[in-house]
Amino acid sequence: GQEEAVLEEVSRALAGEFASTSGRGFSVPFLRMMQRLHKLFPDPEKLSAQLSWSHYLILMDVEDARARQWYLEKAVSWIFYKI
């Protein structure tokens, strides 16, 4: 309904605004994934710049919040270990 219409409008606006850079990455499904990321990780300070969007897509599939946090910490520590 209304949420879908708002997401479609935001998608078009963002794609138009950033068309000079790529115009990609602002589809309604992508915006829904961004909403989900925000719901699961509401504090941006707790996100790690060491992890990519792909890492977070995998972490978002972990339903248990404690397990998700554990995997997040392990992924970050593994990346630091490999450096």
Binned at pLDDT 50, 70 and 90, residue 24 comes out as low
More confident residue, 79 or 41: 41
Task: Please state, in angstroms and rounded to a whole number, the distance separating the CA atoms of residues 14 and 49.
Answer: 23
Model confidence, pTM: 0.76
Task: Please state, in angstroms and rounded to a whole number, the distance separating the CA atoms of residues 74 and 65.
Answer: 14
At 59, the amino acid letter reads L
Nearest C-alpha neighbor of 75 from the set 39, 47, 41: 47
**What local confidence, expressed as pLDDT, does residue 82 receive?**
61
- The alpha carbon dihedral of 38, 60, 76, 25 has a sign of negative
* pLDDT, tens digit, 9 for 90 and up, residues 41-69: 999 888 888 899 999 999 999 999 999 99
